[in-house]
Structure 1
């Protein structure tokens, strides 16, 4: 099957992997990634061939060319379209009220009395004087707005009044199906409900399922399934299964729903490769060429993000140039992505210029922005500058009376990010309000800040003293030890332990291990055992303590973990390699008494 086929049939490969789920046509691309197990990261590619050439051809395609298109992609439906009037209250901000229930009850929970000028915001990040390229960067200029029109263009509308099928239209249902629909509607009223529970209620409906739901219920369900703390294979297939039902029922999707689908296929793994880039571009092409729905700024930001993570920097630049040609405006998401982009290129000056561009554009600086700068500076091999940003975040937090911390719930954080985006939009029309809005932002270090710091100093630098210092400072911010931090520490012992004159000693490993086991027994929030945590634990003990202690540690961990078949296979293969290799701890003891044996 061709990679860029527009067939609407599901993928047999992924369907056989997770039988209850249905998958969109392009998912066979993703199966190439999931079926081959863990693979090495894709090499960084910057050529203008392959995906870049396909991207250009897609833009030039006659079926989607803005200058030559004579018709829009239409879906033939057997019903007559009705116009649905909508009313908006005075002072309405588009999209804001839809997210109120997802976060804190009032924005005042996040207010601060002090104002921060642009100069103070710039001082949070080191700005070098002299012959620096900072003032000339970023190399990718923000798009010029209000491009001249190249003619009228037809497109499928996603406005409420143009909803099709009509808002209250649904297939007639029998009494049993009506009860199931009511159960689903009630569950959707609780936004904290787990997406898997919502999905199972939806799956209880008779096939083809989607037509039995009114448009309001359908959109609300898709939004509920799209909002997850971490995208993974399961959440991706769950969302795409519903999307497949909607498509096969000839029901159009909104721009936001298409963008969520693109995001799932691009970000269901922690680090993207060319496979995910291909899948995301295919979904984008289907969105515009087949469904006739124009990509939004959020869609292009997702495409840019996955291209960066896969090392396709030339493609990433082309994506942003296409934003410019369409007159799409930069917002905080795009500015933060630019900081990330230059970090991946190990370009510290570029990251500083992107930060400067964000401030000058009137966007609100918060913890998310500064975390991106810390990460970019570490990647650019400027650890001192990165640590300075963290110290200034600490100082700014301590100087503020009644300072707040970032909420731990990811839906609350998501709500705040959307509010900051809206504030920046308002401040561009009313500049006098910007300082007031900036004073309400939160710039205190959060869990992600410490994950970035610990990851660098424990793994890259091998500095256990600084790692221990940052872990201790987490207590000052009342942040619990996250499972990812334990994984990072264990990886640090696996990489830097087992040698003379190191701080990564067997005794300190035992101390970390006891803390982990106690935290698991206490049921600490956000702490769970993953296959990577188990693997790094085994490698750490093999490196520092020897094979016998490794087997004991595995027995201790196995009693607190119930892995799936795939995770168990992965860990056992690593344990087998450890047992079949030389005992490094024994070799070290032999060296101490007179040489290797």
Structure 2
């Protein structure tokens, strides 16, 4: 690690300590939660052989008659149902592809050099999609016909795998899809599904607009292009329907999946847990978790994160915390336990390997217990994002928020921008009133930590419109208008917002300035004037 790497790590550690001091609400912290990793290691038990019963025990299961026994409401697909008629399918055989796999437009010397540069970049799976797209755009129009089928498919796969789908990544992928369509070259099922995913998931919150876009693209895929959707396609449609609150549509989508005899995999089981979380049904989420285990799918951090999220949405915070504590304990007990990878492409590869491993278990090639030992069940950054967001924003419990931020260090997790965003939302929601732990002094300390981390270029930290908006709302609530304007000037010095972001922030600032000054109100409360 270079000197800059040591400086970044130092700032991460310093920021965490500063936040811990800033948000610590209770002077006495439970001794059990403050035990060091070495203290816990002394009580390590022999590595368990995780049976179905032990996996079920990671999540609280109620005794006796329970609504869990009557769920899930959505029945699992019945496989291998008889066909209701001839269906158009797309052949995956290379000899049936058009244009032929090795056919390309003749290219001059300069174009050949650019094509070779693109091919070389595609050999490294960790090259950023921005680089791949830039090399592709350097080709002469119409671009796509100059690429062989292998290069084209590899490029689309590379562009489809991003850490966070947003407007830029969506437009990047869709522009290439448009070029392929213009060249009258068919798309594969996976490429159609990736396009569906971008169309429905590029925004933080799915609405009727994204649902309609996904359904329209699905209709084009099946009825115009003649490409039948796969299980992954239906999972994307189910996901966007759930997130938009269209639960009846979500049920209809899975009924269609059942009619076609498509099989559930780990993604569908996790989606079902998420579905019942949105329905605020903890029992439903437990039933979906039980179904996942009985289907011989592998339990890992992703599955348990989904359970934590579903239980918190169902107002079962204690049950969610129990899952988190058992994740920590199970990680410590396993001698070969690994931490989840930070790189999103590595995480994707692990998910794909778990899919293959579950298939091997179902075929009887691998024992269930042996496969389960290979999974990672330690808390990851997403675990803490779920917990901090709930306890900071919804529950308003600053002491528990501080506890989770402190425990991240045991799993070598750096502070992330989403955690700061949750803290600022917590101050905006729960600050500015008497007898609260969300005080002006603590807000100033958290802002100082965030500002110093930005100056140190800590990975994963940056200013976005939502970060800036919640930060201003937090200071407006806790400190008043003059301090809010001063903080906005500090933000502008560290951030170069685009025109759309600047207009958005001006609207936020205008509403703050037009509203009553919370600092004056709080002063009147103290004096008893109101």
**Alpha-carbon distance, 1:114 to partner:** 4.5
Take 2:49 and 2:109, find their aligned partners in 1: how far apart are those partners? 59
Aligned residue for 1:469?
403
Deviation per residue, 1:576-597 (Å, 9 max, x gap): 211222111122113312415x
What pairs up with 1:29-428 in 2 under 5 angstroms?
114-428=48-362
Aligned residue for 2:480?
546
Relative to the length of structure 1, the TM-score reads: 0.80
Aligned residue for 2:453?
519
Deviation per residue, 1:140-186 (Å, 9 max, x gap): 11101111233443323233342221111001112222222122112
Moved over 4 A (4+): none
Aligned residue for 2:394?
460
Deviates more, 1:359-368 or 1:209-218: 209-218
Residues 145 and 327 in structure 1, CA contact (< 8 A), matched pair in contact too: yes
Take 1:276 and 1:160, find their aligned partners in 2: how far apart are those partners? 34
**Alpha-carbon distance, 1:121 to partner:** 0.2
Aligned residue for 1:102?
none
Take 2:48 and 2:459, find their aligned partners in 1: how far apart are those partners? 33
Take 1:343 and 1:558, find their aligned partners in 2: how far apart are those partners? 39
Residues 113 and 439 in structure 1, CA contact (< 8 A), matched pair in contact too: no
Tell me the secondary structure at the aligned position of residue 250 of structure 1.
coil
Deviates more, 1:402-411 or 1:300-309: 402-411
Pick from 509, 512, 527 the counterpart of residue 578 of structure 1. 512
**Alpha-carbon distance, 1:402 to partner:** 4.3
Change (3 A) 1:545 1:166: same
User: Are 1:433 and 2:347 matched, yes or no?
Assistant: no
What pairs up with 1:550-561 in 2 under 5 angstroms?
550-561=484-495
Take 1:232 and 1:212, find their aligned partners in 2: how far apart are those partners? 28
Aligned residue for 1:533?
467
Take 1:114 and 1:196, find their aligned partners in 2: how far apart are those partners? 44
Deviation per residue, 1:189-214 (Å, 9 max, x gap): 12212112211211122221111111
Tell me the secondary structure at the aligned position of residue 164 of structure 2.
coil
**Alpha-carbon distance, 1:432 to partner:** 5.0
Take 2:436 and 2:350, find their aligned partners in 1: how far apart are those partners? 43
Take 1:406 and 1:291, find their aligned partners in 2: how far apart are those partners? 39
**Alpha-carbon distance, 1:282 to partner:** 0.7
Deviation per residue, 1:208-260 (Å, 9 max, x gap): 11111111111111011100000011111111111111111110110000000
Query: Size of the alignment, in residue pairs?
Result: 485
Deviation per residue, 1:94-139 (Å, 9 max, x gap): xxxxxxxxxxxxxxxxxx9643100000000011112212122101
Tell me the secondary structure at the aligned position of residue 62 of structure 2.
coil
Higher percent of residues as helix = 2
Tell me the secondary structure at the aligned position of residue 437 of structure 2.
coil
Take 1:186 and 1:248, find their aligned partners in 2: how far apart are those partners? 26
**Alpha-carbon distance, 1:447 to partner:** 0.5
The CA RMSD measured in Å over matched residues stands at: 1.3
**Alpha-carbon distance, 1:300 to partner:** 0.3
Change (3 A) 1:113 1:152: farther
Residues 497 and 504 in structure 1, CA contact (< 8 A), matched pair in contact too: yes
Residues 364 and 441 in structure 1, CA contact (< 8 A), matched pair in contact too: yes
**Alpha-carbon distance, 1:470 to partner:** 0.7
Relative to the length of structure 2, the TM-score reads: 0.90
Unmatched runs of 5 consecutive residues or more in structure 1:
1-111
Aligned residue for 1:499?
433
Take 1:517 and 1:482, find their aligned partners in 2: how far apart are those partners? 13
Take 1:261 and 1:521, find their aligned partners in 2: how far apart are those partners? 37
Deviation per residue, 1:317-343 (Å, 9 max, x gap): 111111111110000000000000011
Take 1:368 and 1:417, find their aligned partners in 2: how far apart are those partners? 9
Residues 88 and 227 in structure 2, CA contact (< 8 A), matched pair in contact too: no
Which has the higher relative contact order, 1 or 2, with Cα contacts under 8 A spaced 6 or more apart? Answer: 2
**Alpha-carbon distance, 1:433 to partner:** 1.7
Take 2:48 and 2:205, find their aligned partners in 1: how far apart are those partners? 39
Residues 47 and 333 in structure 2, CA contact (< 8 A), matched pair in contact too: no
Tell me the secondary structure at the aligned position of residue 68 of structure 2.
coil
**Alpha-carbon distance, 1:425 to partner:** 0.4
Residues 305 and 383 in structure 2, CA contact (< 8 A), matched pair in contact too: yes
Take 1:156 and 1:397, find their aligned partners in 2: how far apart are those partners? 44
Take 1:210 and 1:271, find their aligned partners in 2: how far apart are those partners? 33
Unmatched runs of 5 consecutive residues or more in structure 2:
1-45
**Alpha-carbon distance, 1:547 to partner:** 1.1
Deviates more, 1:193-202 or 1:465-474: 193-202
User: Are 1:483 and 2:417 matched, yes or no?
Assistant: yes
Take 1:521 and 1:176, find their aligned partners in 2: how far apart are those partners? 42
Deviation per residue, 1:492-542 (Å, 9 max, x gap): 000100100000011111111111011111111111111111111111111
Residues 158 and 255 in structure 1, CA contact (< 8 A), matched pair in contact too: no
Residues 287 and 294 in structure 1, CA contact (< 8 A), matched pair in contact too: yes
**Alpha-carbon distance, 1:287 to partner:** 0.6
Take 1:556 and 1:436, find their aligned partners in 2: how far apart are those partners? 54
**Alpha-carbon distance, 1:388 to partner:** 0.8
Take 1:161 and 1:169, find their aligned partners in 2: how far apart are those partners? 12
